[in-house]
Chain A
Amino acid sequence: DTGVSQNPRHKITKRGQNVTFRCDPISEHNRLYWYRQTLGQGPEFLTYFQNEAQLEKSRLLSDRFSAERPKGSFSTLEIQRTEQGDSAMYLCASKTGTTSQEQFFGPGTRLTVL
């Protein structure tokens, strides 16, 4: 499978715990994005990497959130001290560096905070 993959697909955690999600982009894509999608809403931008550099962060990304892409390949999104409001689908997308090319999305990680 050469698409974007995300693990785990589902995560249930208790409030206050830390969670980490992983995204493996399409191999030749140097740009990687994280989004959050809540029920009935469209994806909301969280952060963006070009290779290993994190170039943009949304104000939605509080200090409890951190994302890395250490070698410019896979990326991780960590949420510390989870809150019930963090329950959402976390989507990863990747694209090439060409300006007009679309993003390709992974299947998402659904987080439920109890």
Chain B
Amino acid sequence: AQKVTQAQTEISVVEKEDVTLDCVYETRDTTYYLFWYKQPPSGELVFLIRRNSFDEQNEISGRYSWNFQKSTSSFNFTITASQVVDSAVYFCALRLTGNQFYFGTGTSLTVIP
């Protein structure tokens, strides 16, 4: 069975602090894709990043960075120097070679000014 676990339900940080959002996935497939989406209060899911199972290279995009480790089935997301605008619910998702996406339950991040 496929499953995505985001153990952190809610996180609060003070502005400019770094924060890491955890994501652990389960699948027996060898080919799969991992995603992070942001859902701000307006409700629309915004794509942040995609990784395929054969690419474990970590990625940095501005203040965002992602750490993909197949050995621990984790795909963690770090925001450096957090800002109030980062406040949102963040979802990790898994897609296999079929078309279903499996989403985690999300982590609600609040950045306090």
- Which A residues fall within an 8 A CB radius of B? 31, 33, 35, 40-45, 48, 50, 55-56, 58, 89, 91, 93, 99-108, 110
Q: Are B43 and A41 in contact (CB under 8 A)?
A: no
With A40-B105, A41-B106, A42-B105 in contact, is A107–B100 under 8 Å at CB? Answer: no
Main secondary structure of the interface of B (DSSP, over half): strand
Nearest 8 Cβ contacts at the A-B interface: A42-B103, A105-B45, A102-B47, A107-B44, A45-B100, A43-B103, A48-B99, A42-B91
Q: Are A106 and B100 in contact (CB under 8 A)?
A: no
Report how far A65 CA is from B37 CA in the complex, Å: 27
Contact of B104 among A42, A48, A108 (CB under 8 A): A42
- Which B residues fall within an 8 A CB radius of A? 4, 33, 35, 37, 42-47, 50, 52, 91, 93, 97-106
For this complex, 24 residue pairs linking A to B, each with C-beta atoms less than 8 Å apart, are A35-B101, A40-B106, A41-B105, A42-B103, A42-B105, A42-B106, A43-B45, A43-B101, A43-B103, A44-B103, A45-B100, A45-B101, A45-B102, A48-B100, A55-B99, A56-B98, A91-B45, A93-B45, A99-B97, A102-B35, A103-B101, A104-B47, A105-B44, A105-B45
Q: Are A106 and B44 in contact (CB under 8 A)?
A: yes
